[in-house]
Structure 1
């Protein structure tokens, strides 16, 4: 049995005005379907006008995870929501830069300017 090598957590922030999907570990083909579901739910299960993907805990993203990430963030925009990537660092940031994903979603290397408490 394989140990969990990734984790995805979804939290509401700022009184429900933001939904944050936090990614941890190595996101590869094994993470693709769960990432797609979490992003779908982040877009459709609430009225938050902002969807943020926090990559602080992500160590690796492969092409399947990037595809799921890109699809989810594009769906957020199609639903009229703002979509951003935060805390992209190291090899994860490099991969997202090379693929052009960073340019599409206003990615930052650090946390958003205001720290908010999860609700």
Structure 2
């Protein structure tokens, strides 16, 4: 079973959802709830994965669904600070490119 930590802070013009620990099927609903709330209340949501050590396909699914939900609201959701195995999984699956931070011009 994964142990997931999720916290949300408001920084300047956007929300930052900080995710840590492990995100697997047993805890992915917690991430979904946090991302749904963030994207519903902010036009721009950064998902900081710097403290996330593990993510499986259910966690990736939550990230992609949150991205699409934000897009449907004309909002932006992107990930930052992925490292190690999490960065590798995002890169290999193509999810990292989908959830890349917007360019400075797009903001």
Deviation at 1:50, TM superposition (A): 0.9
Query: Which residue of 1 is the match for residue 78 of structure 2?
Result: 84
Q: Scaled by the length of structure 2, what TM-score is found?
A: 0.87
| 1:20 counterpart = 2:16 | yes
CA positional deviation for 1:25: 0.4
Q: Equivalents in 1 of 2:34, 2:94: separation in Å? A: 22
Higher helix share: 2
2:26 maps to 1:36: no
Length-normalised TM-score, structure 1: 0.79
Alignment check: 8 A CA contact 1:39 1:73 kept: no
CA distance in 2, matches of 1:72, 1:31: 16
- Partner of 1:29: helix, strand, or coil? coil
Which residue of structure 1 aligns with residue 97 of structure 2? 103
How far the C-alpha of 1:49 sits from its partner, in A, is 2.0
**Structure 1 alignment gaps of length 5 or more:** 108-119
What is residue 88 of structure 2 aligned with on the other side?
Answer: 94
Q: Which runs of 4+ in 1 moved over 3 A?
A: none
Aligned residues: 102
Measured against aligned partners, the alpha-carbon deviations of 1:30-55 in whole angstroms (never above 9, x if no partner) come to: 221111111110011x2x32111000
Counterpart residue number, 1:65: 59
Q: Which residue of 2 aligns with 1:9?
A: 7
Higher alpha-carbon Rg: 1
